[in-house]
Amino acid sequence: MAAPADPSRPGEPASGGDGEPDDPDRLAEQVVPTAIRSQRSTKDIVISLLVLLVPIALVLGFGRVFLNADQPTVVDPAPAIQQARAANAFPVSEPTGLGDQWRTVRADYTRGDAGASLRIGYLSPDDSGLQLVQSNIPAEQLLPAELTRSGQPQGATELGGRSWQRYTARPGELALVLLEPDRTVIVVGQVPEGDLRQIALSLR
């Protein structure tokens, strides 16, 4: 009986498991379904992602259009102002007559070892942020903390019968500072000086 052909020997065709040579057409028929399955798998992934993302986009759009979800949270400063007045640590002034375009986004009264502070944060009509700070913390401590150590006086300006000092602050920021024996008032923000003046003039 003749020995079976050795596929590693040259001149003899390789054979499949059934003893017959591998057919290129049969190999192609095996590869094509695999490629189709791969394409279908990618398509299924894309469809699944769309099914997840479309509802999320609809919810976000609904929130922005109907619920004003991208609007800042407006707070009532009255409780913080009342708390500061009740503490009687320093005279407390309240901004009045600013109009609805000015929005209060922060208001808190805090006490520490160095003194007490009332801080009210605003968004101006053009959505720029600024802060009103009233405090009995010594000015030599308060000003570097609020305006940075590089903050420097730039001259006096009279507002409402009181002499305020113009100061530099962080890059792009300006400040108005009122120095009084029992408190310091700071209006600071990256806004036109006219906005700072409006806050200062509104204090009653």
Instruction: Quickly state the pLDDT bin for 52 (edges 50, 70, 90).
Output: confident
Cα–Cα distance, 128 to 202 (Å, whole number): 18
Query: Which pLDDT score, from 0 to 100, does residue 104 have?
Result: 98
Q: For the chain, give the mean pLDDT.
A: 85
Is residue 169 scored above 60 in pLDDT? yes
Do the Cβ atoms of 187 and 200 come closer than 8 Å?
yes
Q: Could you tell me the CA-to-CA distances from 75 to 42, 107, 110, 157, 177 in Å, in that order?
A: 49, 7, 17, 31, 25
Residue 22 confidence (pLDDT): 57
pLDDT at 18: 53
State mean pLDDT over 17-23.
55
Eight-class DSSP state of 95:
B
Beta strand pairing call for 153-159 and 162-168:
antiparallel
Pick the more confident residue, 137 or 38.
137
Determine the pLDDT at residue 29: 58
Q: Considering only CA atoms, which of 10, 12, 21 is closest in space to residue 2?
A: 12
pLDDT in tens, 59-106: 666 655 555 556 789 999 999 999 999 999 999 999 999 999 999 999
Residue pair 109/118 in contact (Cβ under 8 Å)? The answer is yes
Please state the three-class secondary structure of 142-186 as a single string: HHHHHHCCCCCEEEEEEECCEEEEEEECCCCCEEEEEEECCEEEE
Q: What share of the chain is helix, strand, coil (3-state, %, to 5)?
A: 35, 25, 35
> What average pLDDT score do residues 188-203 get?
98
pLDDT for 195: 98
pLDDT > 90 in the chain, percent = 65
Residue 204: name the closest of 172, 173, 170, 162 by CA: 162
pLDDT in tens, 114-145: 999 999 999 999 999 999 999 999 999 999 99
